Structure formats: C-alpha cells, structure tokens
Structure 1
Amino acid sequence: MKTQSPPVNRPWNLEGWGLRWKVSAVLVIPLTVAMVLGGLRVQDELSKAVNFSSAAKQVADVPAIVDLGTAFGTASAGFAANTMMPEDLQAVDAGIAKVTAAADNPDLSAPVADQLRRSLASIKSLRDQFKPGGTVPATLADDTTAVRSDLTRVIDEIVAPIDDPAVLAEHTRLVGAWSSQRRLADQVSGAVLLLKNPTAPLTHLISASGAELAMIDTLARSFPLEDTKINALREGVQKRTDMIDAAVGGQLPLMELRTSLLKSVAIYGSLIKESSDAITATVTQRADETRSAAIRDAAIVLATLLAAIVLGLLVARSLIRPIRRLRFGALQVANEDLPDAIERIKVGDSSAVTDFEPIPVHTTEDIGQLARAVDDMHGQALKLAGEQAHLRLQIGDMFETLARRSKSLVDQQLGLIENLEFEEKDPKRLESLFRLDHLAARMRRNGDNLLILSGNRVRRAQSAPVQLGDTVRAAMSEVENYQRVQVGSTPHGALSGAVATDVVHLLAELLDNSLRASPPDSKVKITFARAVDGGALLEIVDCGIGIPEGDLAVINDRLASGGEVSPETARHMGLFVVSRLAARHGITVRLRRTFETARDQGVTASVHIPDSLLVSPLEMGHTGPIPRVDTAGMQLVDTAGMQRVDTAGLPQVTVVRSDEMPPLVTETARPAPAPAPNPPGVLPQRTPGATGLPQRVPGAAVPAPLPPTPAPAQQAPAQQVPSATPPPSAPLPPVSAPAGQGFGGFGSAQPVRTESADVDSPPATRHRYRTNAAKTASFFQARPNATASQDVTTTGTPIFSGMVTDWLTDPITSDGPAKREWTSAADQGWTAAHRASEAPVEARTESGLPQRTPGHRLVPGGVDTADRATARPRLRDPEAVRDNLSRHQKGIREGRAASMAERTSIGGDR
C-alpha cells in the first residue's frame, strides 16, 4: 500500500471533521434557525402584548377625556343660553380632576401629556368664566370648538399607535360621534339665539343641521346598516329640518326643537360612551390575547424544538451507532481477527477460512451494505491467506523433497569418503579426505536448514541420550576452523537423542557465525554453567568487531519470535534456523556484547537449555560402571624415528569429568572386572595391546597380522586413559568418545570393536553422531596441516606408515600375530612422568586444599628453555591487515551492488 502523509487538519476543513461533529452540524444549524425564528415570533407576540398592555393603560383615560369634552360642551351651551345648572359645572370640575390625573400617567407619551395639559389649561380658563349671570363672551363658541378639537387630537394620538382594526373602528366611531355631537351643539347654539331673538335668521341653524346630517352619513359607515341609533339621529335631524322649513315666515316651535335636540344629545352621548368603552375593552382584550398568544407560541416553539432535537438525536444515533460498530468491527478484523485467522491457517486450521464472525451491522441500507462489503473483503483475505498457506505448504514440500534428496546423496557421499579415509595411507590425501568429509557435513547441515525452512522436522530415529560435551564436540565437527574453538568444563547431564540433534545443529550455526565474524587468529570460547532453574547455560564468546546495539535488539527479537519466513531469510539462514530450533524446544538464545568498551566488542551468544530437556546420569540407563584399565605395565611407543606433526591448529579442548558421573557404555557391552585403583598422583601405565590396536614390531613398515582373539570386551573412556604428553606448542585434548567407543592414547581416535558385538544381530539404535564414531573421532585426532605436510617426505617414515596402516585396518577382519612388542625411547619420559606424579604435596592452603608449585611436576627435559628464550612473539603485518579489511569492504560493496541490481531487475520485470 502506498503511504502518504496525512493532510493537515484545519478547523474549517469539513472533510477533516469527525462523524459526530458532522452530524451535530447537520442537526444544530436547522435547530438554530428554528430557535431563532420561533424566538422572533415569541418576541413579536410579547412585544404586541406589552404594547397592548401599555395602550390599555393609556386608553383607560379616553372615557375621562370624552366625558370632560361632553361636560364642557354642555356647560358652555348652558352658559350661552343662560340655562346652565350647577350640576353642569360639577361635571366639568370632576372631568378636569380625572383628566389632570390622566395627564400624570407615566404610560402616556410626552407629546400627548403636554397636549392634554394645554387643553386642561384652556378648559380651566373658560370654566372660570362660567358663572351664573355672567357675560357671555362673543368667542365662547369658537373657544369651545377649539377645546373639543384639542381633546379630539389627544384621543387620536393615544389611539394611533394601536395597530388593531377593531380599535381603529371604535376610534372612528368615537371621533365621528364626537364630531356629529359638535354639529348638534351648533344647532343648540342657533336655537338659543332664536330664543333670545325670535326674528333672528335661521341660516345658522340650517347650516348646522346640514353639517350634522353629513357627519351622520359619515358615522353610519362605521356602523351596520339599519342601525337604530343612526336612524334615530337621522330622524331627529330630518324632524328639525322640517321644523325649520315650516317656520320660514312663521314661528319656530322651540319646545319641539328642544326635545329633538335633547334626544339627539342623549343618542350621541351613548354612542361616544360605547365607543370609548369599546376602545378600552378592545385594547385590554388584545393585550390579554397577545400575552396568551406569546405564551402559546413560546410553548409551541419549545415543544417543536424539543421534538426536533429528539428526532435529530434518534436519526444521528441510527447513523453513528452502525458506523461505530462498522469501524470497530473493521479495526478488529484488521488488527485481531484477520491476523489470528492467518496464524490458524499457517498451523493448518482450514476452518479459519470460512469460520469468521461478521460485523454486527445487519441492516440493508447503505451502512449495512458497507458492512457486508467489509465481510466480503475479510472472506477474500482469508481465502487468499488459505491459498498462500497452501502454496507455502507446496513450496515447503518442494524444499523438503529437494533437501531430502540432497541429504541422501550427501549421506552416500559421506559413506564413500569414510571408506576412503579408512583405506587411505597417504597423510596428505587423508587430510584432503578429511576436508571433503567436513564439506560434506556442512552440505548435510545446509540440507537440514532447508528442511527447517520448509517447516518440517528432520526425520531421525530414536537414540540414546547424549552428553553435553559430546553435543558440543559434534557441533564443532560441523564447522570450519574448529581448531580455534576452546571448550571449558562441561556440566553434568545429557540430552535426549532428538533434542541433542537439534542442539548440535543450533550450536553449529552459532559457532559458524562466531568463527566467521572474528579474526582468524583469535579463539572462540565455549563456557558452561548451571542455571538457576537447574538447566544448562552455554555461552559462545568471540572477539570480533561486534554488532551495533540496535541491530542486536532486532536480532534478539527475531530469535525470541521463533523466526518468520521473509525475503531476508535466505541472507540470514543461520539466524532463522537458530530461532526455529530454539522455539521448537523452548531454548532461549540471546546475543550480547562481549566487551562494552573495547574497540572489538565481540558477541557472546547465550544458550539456555531448560531443565526439562536435560537427562541426569542416573536416568541414562547404564548397565553398570566401567572400571578403569590397569595400565601399570604399559609400554610406550618408540617415537625415535617418527616425524613430529605440528598440531597447533587443533582445538584445545579441556573436558573435566567428575568422578561421580558414571562412564558411558554401549548397550551391548558387558562390564569387566575393575582392577585395583592407582594411588593418587600416579599416572596409569599402559599395557601393550590394551587399547585394542594391533601391535607392531619396531622398524616394520607394514602392519602385522591381527591376533585371532578380539580386543578386550570393554574400553575405558578417553578422559580416563592418559595419552603421551604432546609438544607444548600443540597439546592434544583428551576427548571423550561416545558411549561404548574408547580412544587409544597418543591422539588415536579410531573405533575399536568390542568382543560382545554381534555381527549378525541388527545394530542398536544410536544417535546420528554416534552411529559412525570414526567420523566424529577422526575430527579430533592429530592431523598434519599444510605447513607440516611439506616437511614430511613423500614415502613417510616407517613408524608413521605402520601406525596409519594399523589405524585404518579393522582389527576383527585383519589377520596378524596375537601380540606385538611396541616400545620406543619415549618410555624413559613416561617413567620420569610417573616419578614426578608421585612427588608429595608439601604446602596446603588455610582451607586444607593442596597448594602446588608451578613447574614442580614437569617432566625433566620436556621444556626447552633455550627455544623458549629465543622465541619471538608473533607480529601481524599491517599491510596484510589493511589488505584483509580492504577485501572485506570491497566484498560488502559488491554484495550491495549485486543486491541492488537484482531488486532493480525484479522491479523492471514487474
């Protein structure tokens, strides 16, 4: 998958918002708009309610203003006609008091209040003139009209802000009735003039009646048709008009005129009263209605918003929950289910391909279809993993087939090489055969690596337990430059056959890596220790250039994970094999630095073998202890005429055996009676023929016939049989042989057939590294290296030729004399060594342990002081070191270039 850098998450980028934020935005925006609109509606209703409530408080003063205007008109008309009554003045005074209080109403606007105060001032000034018997001013009628006009404007300003049709209709009625009443007042004034001067013209009365009739027609528009009061007013005007027409040229009936006028005045009063009261009641009702409407609208808006919020939450929940389940299910499939199913498929569980839990979204809409698509991808991935596992199994089978064929051919090759080794007499050719044997063993190990790579176990027969020391030596036999390996003391215990084979393979890979990664002149040490849990701890220590800390951590992780097949497996086959073998048996392998501060830090490989894999010596099923061989009368080999072979390249192995550990025996060996033990500090003497090797007469170049009787029934382990002291420059290791296979002295490592071996019976089941002891044993015998072989003559010395012939001759099938004398001038050295070993210990430590003097028990003449004094330390040529490093760096560059070219060619082919 092509990886891209994630985009920068900006707040205004809607695509980067989470699902919850997106759904919230979808819900919040319309809900906010609805809340704003609903709030505006409620606010409008509340504003109307407040306005109507304020208008109701203002309109409450309209009846008082109307009453004041009516009372003032009545008083003014009575004063002009000299018919004013005290009650008229009292009504004016009461009206003035009410309107004065209304002018102080805080709900009135400032202009209305000022206008009302000016009207009150005019009314008060005229009221002071209304006195019985007083002079009527000529402008009384005009002043009265002006006052009533001011009061009308005040009412108009009070009612004008009220935006309600019913209030406006009542206001129109009120103004119309009041205007008509003023025209009626003009008629009253004309009638008063006629009473005073009957000969006065009737023009004023006639014009007033016409004006009233016109105002009544205007007023009738605000009332229903055929309204009784409007009809009564029209009839009164018509009756008065008829009176005036009948009185032309004659006397006007004043009493009937007065009655008609009073009747009209009463009707106008009732109309004005009803209109003013209707305005007040209507405004108060509208205030209550708008208040109730505001409360109702607020409740409706809140309920609608709540319903919208609940519905939005339900819809959002129906969207978010399936998507969340889909997301969690997809993540679980990617992070847990699919890897677990792939691991099950890798181990062979075919049910994992079809047995998987679908994502818990079972709807049929878009999200459900997306969940089914994820399930389909999950199934396809499992199907592909199954096909890949099947393909991997086929490839593993192919590797296994090729590896087993190769191993079969290598085993045949090893058999042929071993036969040639037994038959070869030339040391140089024998050395070449040994090298071929070693290469074939490495090829066999490579075949085992291929089997492990294919995931199959190496087919091995059941075998007896193997000592830890034998396991280490078997691992050494499979690596190159085994001479550089130093083995420390081996702990007690053994491994079962199947486990031992894999441990040998594991140790061989670690040894091979340490030898390749360390300088050619350095040593690789193998140390042993007993772990806290009772297991064994083996450490392989080298002094190479080391590994960086980060790479060590990666390698340790791979070792702990058990190995995973990857493109790097072929390059790091050893690491893969070690991790697989360690994971197979529960063995822990860790790498660490040998030195933390040195230039060449080196690497130490720690191998922890758990106690469950170890077999104690008591559980190995021995038939009995093997007694030590009495070698008190042993004769030494005459080495006077024998060339000394340089063994500096051989491994310096020191194996410490405890006296409590029982010796190893074969399954068919019979115990022999144990001779008397040697006294402490005395070296055992070897008896001629005790080793089972054919005896040779000094000077004979060919082997003598073998004795008719076979060798003794049982041989002691090599660590209990001392060999001749080698030269100081190349001490030969006392290597312990496998069970039932004893090694002769002087580095001899050829197998000896026991007396109890039945030729006709089938061979006992043995470990792979014990079925052919000649191969393993021959690996640790003294071999001539390339330098030493140049000093040896082509024909060889007679003694060496005879020894090689005897070594490669089967003592059972060969014929020869029963015993041959085998002596040499070196017997004097063995005698001197015997005397040196008998020297008593004179000094002891505080704890009672013997304290030896260095060099006190050296064989006289064994150390050449002159040669040691003249010996020079070995110096490394700087040019040679530089050349080696240059070649190493060049190889790294060429390898990287080849790998890059290979990857480039593969990418181009694709």
Structure 2
Amino acid sequence: MLLAASCVGCAVALVSLVAYLTVQSNMYQQFDDSLIHRAAAAVKSTPVIAQFREVPSAVLVSSDIEIGLLQANGELIRPSNGTPPPAGSDELAVATGAASYSLRTDDATGMRVVALPSGNGQALVLAQSLEPTRRTLSDLSLVLFLFGGAGIIVAAVAGTAVARAGLRPVERLTSATERVARTMDLRPIPVTGDDELSRLTHSFNTMLSAVAEAQERQRQLVADAGHELRTPLTSLRTNLELLLAASRVGARPLSERDRVDMEADIRGQLDELTQLIGDLVELARGSEPRTENERVDMVEVVERALDRARRRAGDSTFDVSLQPWVLTGDPAVLERAVLNLLDNAVKFSPPGTTVGVQLRPLGDGTAVVEVADAGPGIAEEDLPKVFDRFYRSSEARTLPGSGLGLAIVKQAAERHGGAVYAGQSSAGGALLTIRLPGVPG
C-alpha cells in the first residue's frame, strides 16, 4: 500500500509540476506577445501629444492597460484621466535610443511593462497588470494539488485492496503450512485460480502428497516389519522357555535329540532375524540421497555376485552368458541386487538343476540382467506383487526368507534409472529381470 501510494504520489507530483510550469510559461509568453503586439500597433501611428492626453479613460479601463509617452528628458506624458505606467531606467534607455526596446516586470506594482521607440527622443510605454494571470495560475496550482492528493488517496485505497487480495492466498498458504507443522495433517490445500500463487499451492499440494505417501510407506514398512519379526521372535521365545524350563531343578530333562533340534531351531531363527534386520537396513540405506557414482562394468558386477552365490548354491549350477555393458552408478548396490536374484533362484530351484544368467543389450540404450530358475514358477496373480516389500507367495512361505530381497532389487534398479520385471522362464520356473540404461562396454 505504501509503495503504491508513494509511486502514485511521485508520479502525480512530477506530472503536476511539469503541467504547472508548462502552463505558466505559455501564459506568460502569450501575455508578453499580446502586450508587445498592442505596443507595436500603437507605435505605428506616432501620437500627437495633445491628442494623446485626450485618450478616453473608458478605453484605458476596458483594456486594463496603462500607457504613456516617455521623453528623453524623463518627462512622462499620459492621458489626462489615466494612470501613469511605471517608468524607469530601462524605459528611459529606449527613449534616448540606447536600447531598441525593453520588457520587464515591475515588482512594486506587479505589472508587465514594455517600451518601444516612438519617434525621436521618446518611447511609448505600455503596462498591464499580471494579477489576472497570477490568479489563474494560483487556481491551477490549487486544482492540481487537490486532484493530486485525491489521486494519492485513491491509489492508497486501491493499493490496500490489491495488496489484501494478493496476499490472501499467501495467508491461506501460510496458515496451511502452520497447520501441517502443528498437526501433521497432510490434506491438500484448496486451490482457486491459475495465477502464480495457485501454481505455488499446486506445488505445495504435490509436496504434501509426496510426504503423505512417504509417511504411509514408512508406516506400512514398520507394520510389515513388526509382523515379520513377530513369528521368529515368538518361536525363539518358545524354544528358550522350553530350554529354561527343562534346566530347572526337578523338571523333566530334555532328550539329547530334542535339545539338539531346539538349538538348531534357535540358530535358524537367529539367522532369519539377522537376515531380516540386514535387509531392513539395506532398504533404509537405499532411500538415502545418492552418493557420488562411478563407472560400473556390469560384467564384473555379475561375476562377483556369481562367485558369492556359488559358495552357497549347493548342487545348483549356473549357465552364464554375459555381454559387455557399462553404466554410471553404485557397484555395491548393483552387486547386492544381482546376488539377491541369484539367491532367490537357487532357493526355489530343485537340487542339481541349472540357473540361467544372462546379461544382454536390447539395442535401445538399455540392457537386461535375466535370472531364470527351474522351480515351480510364479502364479499369474503374484507377478505384479513379487517385488513388493514383505510380499511372499504361498509357495515361498514354507521357505526361509524375509520377503525383502526382491524389494531391494527393485529399489536398486529404480535408483539407477531402470526397472524390474517378473515372468515365466522357458523351463517353467521364474524369470526375474533387471533393466538398466547404459552403453556397450
């Protein structure tokens, strides 16, 4: 509001000043031109002094001028009923021939005085009051001041209205952000219009949606993790309670076979918990901002993953076909993703079968890492869900695992600008694929 009023005030003041000075200059110029024209017309007929003294006073009053003949000796001849015009050294210089003409303002009387030569040794002097012109300029200055002030007031009022209307969406957005910070209520903010603030509100709503989605994923992860942890912890607690109960005085001791089975069961449950916690940590690390990436040779990544997978593959073997492919990324993350695919294939493949591993470019700027097993395969209804966190098909529930391995694969692929797919292999088992952008090595 202050800015608008100040700008309008400066503009009005500047325009008013320029207008006043222009009108003042034009009015004074017209006044002088008219006075000089009258004097020149009077000079054309050199007046006879006797007749000059007899000029009717009504003519002088109606024309609002004072007239006189100034002699070289300083004598001023005027009409008998008229008022003598101011005459000084400037007019005397014209009468004596020292100056061709004179034009001045007499400060004492407030009159404009012009003197023109009128024959030898005399000058015709005309004077006219500046009061009407000054009064007109005074009225003009008053009008400009009043209308300028009114314009500033109108500008201030309009600026206030515009500022309030413009800041109202900002106030709503500010209130909404304060509400979110205070209550963690992530509901979208209503949007009206299509101006910059509306687009800002749209962007803020998009951010709220992303935060709400992340919050929901976090809540779901915690719920799923709690659910998955409950089963091994419950079994572990049961076995420990049985061992403690059997060790009490007077309790029936466990047979050696039962004790060995319980200890093996406890070790298996601890391994399962360790794997689950490790997978959760891996997923949490995958959500962190990217570190500086490096050049990654996918052939080396797959070969390192194969070396680790062979050590725990038992009787399973790998049929490997690798073509050069290079991309920019995190080799450790990609190696973990490929290893998870290999471990998953070994887990579901019958002993003594072969797992197919391929790395091949597709010719569109991407390459795929395909892992095919000879297991029971994936049901059609499970294909869209196998990469979800903690999702395990009915066949997988009887096998060890946390349900996070393939979720880690998906996260690694998306982190590198790729995607994951699940399908059926030619041998009837599962075919899991990572698709990554890059260039041939």
State if a TM-score over 0.5 links the two structures: no
Query: Which of 1 and 2 has greater Rg?
Result: 1
Q: Relative contact order, CA 8 A, sep 6+: which one is greater?
A: 2
Instruction: Give TM-score, length-normalised by structure 2.
Output: 0.38
* Greater per-residue strand proportion: 2
**TM-score, normalised via structure 1 length:** 0.21
